[in-house]
Structures are given as C-alpha cells and as structure tokens.
Structure 1
Amino acid sequence: METDSRKPILIAGAGLASLLLAQSLLRNNIPFLVFERDADVSFRAQGYRLRLSKECLDAVEATLSPDHWQLFWDTCGKTAGVGFAALNAITGEDVTEARKYEGTPMQKRDEEAKGGKMDLASRDGKVVGIARGEMRELFMRGCGDRIKWSHHVTGYELTESGVRATFADGSKSEEGEMLVGGEGIYSKVAKQVSNGKIKTYDTGARGIHGKASTSAFRDLGEGVWRVVDERVPGGKVFLITNVRAKDMDDPTIEFGWTMGAQPGVIEPPGNDYSIIGKQAADIAKSLAKDWHPRFKPLFDNMVESEAAFWKITCSTPSGVPDWPNQSRVTVIGDAAHSMTPAGGIGANTAVRDSALLGRLLGESGGYAKDVTEQYEKVMKVYASEAVASSYGMATMQFGVRIDENTPTV
C-alpha cells in the first residue's frame, strides 16, 4: 500500500513529546497531522532549560536521523561537574553537603551515598541541557506544513475505520487511523480515553521562569546551581539554573533560570497564568530582594518580557492508572503523566514515550490494532516509577501533599 494512500496519525498538541513522535513518523514515511491550540510557535513563553537524562538522549538519538541528531547534540549545552551545587540565597555560601540528598528517596540515597556523589551527568561526564524552546524548534524541523495552528482539540469520535479529533469550535478533523493525545496537563483526549481515570492535581506550589544575559551569571560560574531561601514567610523559595562555561563570553546568549516556591508563596495577579512579562518579573524580584549580591544580577538584568508564571502539578502519586485499552487512541507526555519539577524527569519521561510509540508505529508501518496496547503496557511501568519518584522528592523540596481533597486541573 502506498504511504500517501493511508489515513494520517492525528496528534493533539505540538509540545516536545508530540513533535518528537512526529519526527519518528516522518522518518518512517507515515502520514500525520499535528493540531495545536496556539496560533503559532511563539505564542507563549517557552519555559526553562531542561536537563537531559541518559535515557532521554538515547531516545532522541534513536528517533532522529543521524544529521538531525548531530544538530541537536551540537545545540545542547554541556556543563562540567556533576550534581547540584546548593547555595544559601542570603549568605551565598555553598551548602551542597548539607543538602546533598534532600528529597531523594531513601533507597536511591543509600545507593548514591555508597558511590560518594549524586551524578547528574548523562554523557561524557557532563550535564547535558537545552532550552525548551530550542528543543521544540529542533523537533519541529520538516514538520511545519503538517502542523495545524489554532486547532484546540477537545475530544474525539471513533468511526467505523478510524477516528476524528473534535475541536473547540465544534468542527472535526479529517479521519485518521489513530489519535495520540499529547496536549499536556489539560488534555481532553486523556480524560476521554481513560474515562476520567487520568488525573492531574494542582499541588498549590508555584514558580516563575526568567532569563538574563550570560554576564549576569559570572559570579556563579560554570555549574548546575540550586539557590535556596528558607526565610520567606509561608515557605521555602528556590532557584535553579545551569551555567555553561563556553557561552559565558557571548553577550548575545541568554541563560534561563526557574524559581519555585512552596504553596502560598507565589501567586500571579488574579490567579491568571497567561500573564507574562513585567508582572511576573516584579514578583520574582520582590522575593529575591534580600539575596546575596552574587545572585542580584540574575534579577537586575532580567529580560522582563520573557518572565512567565508556572503551576506545579502532579499525576496520581501511585502512578499511571489502568484503563481499558482503545486501539485507536492513546496519550503521551504530560497528558499521561504530569510530574513536579523535582528531579527534572518530566520532559525526559515524555521523550521516552515518543521514542517507544514511534518505534512501535514504525515497525508496524503505521496503525496496527495492538500498537497502543503494547505501548501502554511498557509506558505505565517506567512512567509510574518516575511519577512516584518526582512526587516523593517534591514532598520534601516543595512541601506538597496530594490526597482526596487536592483539586485537579
């Protein structure tokens, strides 16, 4: 059967997981369409810098073409050293040893203690990272004409021989062989296919993303840094950033940082998370006004237009729930398993989803009746482990707790 005679794989959302899946389909000559609710790629702030795990890098390398992978690898920053260096926000002192295993599950803590270090390096002894926006643009290469912007997927309907996505304006997509929900924590596809079993909880913890020119980071120097302030009324505030030595002398390059806090400390005006820019920047500056001088440039030199609020959410801590398999519909990434930023494993796990589902679809030449079942069986195991680990660390780092009274998003 000719490839272009087949109905496309429909993908809801144009985030990292969806676009990497699209790359896999592109390489395997499997037709697809991506539906994204935003008007274009620059519609919203792209978020903070991601630390890529060994598993994530392996998944990306296995999915992209050799040339595309090399471009991706060359774009990634490589930071020397391993582990977070923890700094006291007020004194500027290094408190790494005192906080070395904060929030780490006991078994992992014991194993890492025997080795003498907590190693975040993923390749060549370096911490590998990339800005979320850069990663998204790289995954979008070659897919532009198959992305349908301003298409907000709100569900689906099964047909005799396929599936159609339904949109917020009441219209429907063309018929596809299969639908993959990758539209994040608010996924309507996830709610529908799991009959409401997939839940994303609002932990109450909040954060702000920020950016500044490399010159603002000189007093920190190369490394992966976690700055902690425990004096804030109502809870702890922290800031995480990754400073790469080779970019330090290029004023055109900006480094990102992300600030987070325990529930009740950071709230956007009117609880509106679409607000970006100066309002978010001003709140970050107010929280850090008494911090040590070595951290001041991060806020004094902020690119205020890039500041954005973020909400810390988490799926059911016990893991990805079971639901009756639907052969033509499944979910990936945050739509299936939202995680707190603790441990930095959310995006890494989402990429593993894309690589796994993409490989299965490639092996079958497109939709096959057992593909979603095979994918979900494997995904639910590693993703459940990741959610549990992320939540366990977040209870220590952010003071969050999820129970039957916790609101969902």
Structure 2
Amino acid sequence: MSTTKPVLIAGAGLASLLLAHSLRLSGIPFKIFERDASFVFRAQGYRLRLSSEGLAAIESVLAPDTFQRFWDKCGKTSGSGLTQINAITGEVINSPPATQNTLISRGGQVVGIARGDARKIFAEGCSDHIEWSREVTGYQLTPTGGVLALFADGSTSAEGSLLIGGEGIRSRIAPQLSHNRLKVYDTGARGIHGQAPTTAFRGLGEGVFALIDNSRADGTLSLITNIRSGTEKDDPTLEFGWTLAGQPGVIRPPNDNNHNNNHTIVGTQAAAVAKSLTRDWHPRFRALFEQMNEAEAAFWKITCSTPTGVPEWENEARVTVIGDAAHSMTPAGGLGANTAVRDAALLGRLLREAWGGSGGGGGGGGGDWAGVTAEYEREMRVYASEAVDQSYSAATRQFGVRIDPETTPTV
C-alpha cells in the first residue's frame, strides 16, 4: 500500500498528537479525526506527572528546541517527596525520604505539565490535519489494501494506508480490532478534578501532598496535589490543580447508575459535591475548595483495563491502537499518560524506519507498513502490561477497588 495515502488517527489526545508530531517530522502524511469541536471544548483534566520513561519518550520525538520549550513549560517540584496528611486533623501521617519517592524523575524532581499545555505543543504543525466533530465508530478494510474510518454520521473517510485508534477508553476501534478482547472496566471509584489560584495552596507549601480522610463510614476519601517551586506559586493569576478521589460509593456523580455516563465536565455540580464532601476538613485546606474555579470542576470515572495486562489478538497490519484505547489505567502511580506517550514514540519510530527503508525518506515517496503494527503490539504489550499491573495493584490499596472480569461492568 503506497503511503502517499495518509495514516488515519482517531482522536486528538496526547498520544495521538505526539504520534502525529512524529509523523510530520518524518514526512509521513496523516489525518486526525476528533469527536470534540475544538481543543477547548471541555476541561483538560489534572496535571500530568511525567516519569523518566515518559520524558525520554517525548524527548525522542520532539525536535531539541521544541523539547526545550516543553521542558520549560513543565513544573518542577523538589522537597521531600510525597507527604501524607490527615485531612481532618491536619497532622502529617507519613513523609518518606526523597530516596523512596517513586514520583521523582529527571533531575531528582517531580516533573509535571498541564494536559492542555502538552497538547498545544504536541499539536504544533498538525492543526491543519485535524477534522473536528468527527467521531470514529469503526473501520472498514478496502480491497486495495487500505482502510476507511467510519463516522457517527454515516460517512466515511478517504482511504488511508493505516488506521490508529487513539480515541481513549470509549474507543470503537479497540473492540473491533481485538474482537472484544480489549476491555475497560468501571471500578466504581470516582474522582473530581479541581483547580484553584496558587494562593489557595499556601497552607501546604511546596511538594506533593496526599490529604487522607479515613473518618467516613462509606470509605476513604483522598486528595492529591503537586505544589511547584519558583515564583509561580505566589502568582495569584495562575492556578494549580488537585484531584479528589473516593472509594466506590463515596463520590456520587449525577446519573451515576448509567454506565454510559462518561462524567464529562459538569462545572458547579462537581464543585458543589467536592465542597460538601470536604466540609469537615481542617481549615488549613479549606481554601482549595472555597477558592476553586468552579467552571473547571469535573467528575471522572476510575477505570482500568484487564488487570492481567494487554491481551493478544490476531494482528491486522492496517489497524492498531495506542494509549487508553489499548490500556486504560487508574490514576494510582500516574502511569497512564507516561505509557501512552511511550506508545506514540515507539509506533512513530517504527513507521519512520519503515518509511525511510522503502525510499520514502520524508520526500513523499513509497513505504510499506508490513510488520509494523505487529512489532509495535509485541513491544507495547510488555511495558504496558507491567504498567497496568502496577496501576491496578496500587489502586486496590488506595481506592479499595477489585475487578472481577465476570461481574465488573465495562464502559
């Protein structure tokens, strides 16, 4: 199949955009289909913690000057590592030494970036290749060796040489490709993302903090936040984020019994629930909720792929999946986004090598994707399965979740 026909990408999330950035630098034509109407259609979610592996993957894709801008945009937090505090009394529960802090990555620091800022950098040079309000519902292989993306409105894309499903936990490509082997389970645990001016965090100081509320009869409620160093922590025009998470039954979003409810941004409703849940917390933490930007508050489901790891399916040379479409993870350990960017870097490298090896070389010539998706899936399954296991194991301790493949609902 001549790669003058574009690589089709479903979804414009982090992994998809980083992959697109890689394809653009390699001279490989591509097209992105995103169901949202724009980048700012809905809230961008909590700040991403970047591991050493995640940073290395991003650096392997971006040009040196672009990565430097990305790095400059990242917040860096030093301090003693994760500090756990009793949310009711304000007393420190546990503050492990930095040498035991698994959150630390490059330069002995905790490194993070807002999802929206990362998307903006990854999308540079790619925006003209995005078709908005285009929800991909499946695909069709063509007799000429290509593939078509199918859309919710009944239309189809132009023929592509390859289709990448990067549209998240509700991917329609993933179950079709894997014959329903790829599953995303609803653990029952819920969370609320929130943001507040940096001045609201002065009661904590610099570092990564987990506020733990074990006083409730219905389960544990916890909040995690990363308060960064530098002058930005004293700039009232900036906002830091926090994530409130509860064991199953603690946080109850509206219409929660509807498993098709994705808990997208609900603004003041989510803010009101967060304030109600934390009304008995220590006064030292009240500003996080009293000063929150209510418009940015959002519910989210805590989901996870099959705990045993990424399953195998019969490879289809013209279709594969990346990111949450391949391996959804709980927020425990901050592994999801880091694994997703590793997918993008790996697949982008394999496509670049195949393109150059067939004489494409970025000049718009030929290319042969034979074996590329099989090699990608083989390598991805190893590190992604390890990450899913780590994430699920941590979530069983942190959120009290248990997945039974026979009874746990899927999303």
| Alignment-derived partner of residue 304 in structure 2 | 314
Deviations 1:225-272 (A, max 9, x none): 111101123110010110012111211110010100000111211235
How far the C-alpha of 1:81 sits from its partner, in A, is 2.6
| Alignment-derived partner of residue 173 in structure 1 | 157
* Aligned sequence identity (%): 63
Q: How does 1:371-382 map to 2 (within 5 A)?
A: 371-382=372-383
| Alignment-derived partner of residue 361 in structure 2 | none
State which of 225, 231, 234 in structure 2 corresponds to 1:249: 234
Q: 1 CA distance for matches of 2:246 and 2:12? A: 28
1:61 maps onto 2:63 in alignment: no
1:155 maps onto 2:138 in alignment: yes
Which consecutive segments of 4 or more residues in structure 1 shift more than 4 A? none
| Alignment-derived partner of residue 43 in structure 1 | 41
Q: How does 1:6-405 map to 2 (within 5 A)?
A: 6-97=4-95, 117-159=100-142, 160-246=144-230, 247-271=232-256, 272=261, 273-365=263-355, 367-403=368-404, 404-405=406-407
Deviations 1:325-350 (A, max 9, x none): 00000000000000001111011000
Q: 1 CA distance for matches of 2:123 and 2:80? A: 31
Give unpaired runs (5+ residues) of structure 1.
Answer: 101-112
What SS does structure 1 have at the residue aligned with 2:27? coil
What SS does structure 1 have at the residue aligned with 2:48? strand
Point out the more displaced range, 36-45 or 361-370.
Answer: 361-370
How far the C-alpha of 1:41 sits from its partner, in A, is 0.8
Counterpart of 1:91 in structure 2: which amino acid? T
How far the C-alpha of 1:394 sits from its partner, in A, is 0.5
Point out the more displaced range, 366-375 or 266-275.
Answer: 266-275
Q: 2 CA distance for matches of 1:20 and 1:367? A: 21
Q: 2 CA distance for matches of 1:279 and 1:241? A: 21
The change in CA–CA distance for 1:384 and 1:155 in structure 2 (over 3 A counts) is same
What SS does structure 2 have at the residue aligned with 1:392? helix
Assess if the C-alpha contact under 8 Å between 1:203 and 1:401 holds in 2: yes
Assess if the C-alpha contact under 8 Å between 1:221 and 1:245 holds in 2: no
| Alignment-derived partner of residue 358 in structure 2 | none
What SS does structure 1 have at the residue aligned with 2:283? coil
What SS does structure 1 have at the residue aligned with 2:85? strand
Give unpaired runs (5+ residues) of structure 2.
Answer: 356-366
Assess if the C-alpha contact under 8 Å between 1:89 and 1:229 holds in 2: yes
Assess if the C-alpha contact under 8 Å between 1:320 and 1:337 holds in 2: yes
Taking structure 2 as the reference length, what is the TM-score of the superposition?
Answer: 0.93
Assess if the C-alpha contact under 8 Å between 2:43 and 2:265 holds in 1: no
What SS does structure 1 have at the residue aligned with 2:280? coil
Deviations 1:158-211 (A, max 9, x none): 012210100001100000000000000000000100010000000000000000
What SS does structure 1 have at the residue aligned with 2:192? strand
Alignment root-mean-square deviation, CA: 1.5
Point out the more displaced range, 268-277 or 60-69.
Answer: 268-277
The number of residues matched between the two structures is 392
Assess if the C-alpha contact under 8 Å between 2:42 and 2:265 holds in 1: no
How far the C-alpha of 1:116 sits from its partner, in A, is 5.8
Counterpart of 2:109 in structure 1: which amino acid? K
Q: 2 CA distance for matches of 1:313 and 1:270? A: 17
How far the C-alpha of 1:119 sits from its partner, in A, is 3.6
Assess if the C-alpha contact under 8 Å between 1:82 and 1:127 holds in 2: no
Deviations 1:108-130 (A, max 9, x none): xxxxx9x9623421111111001
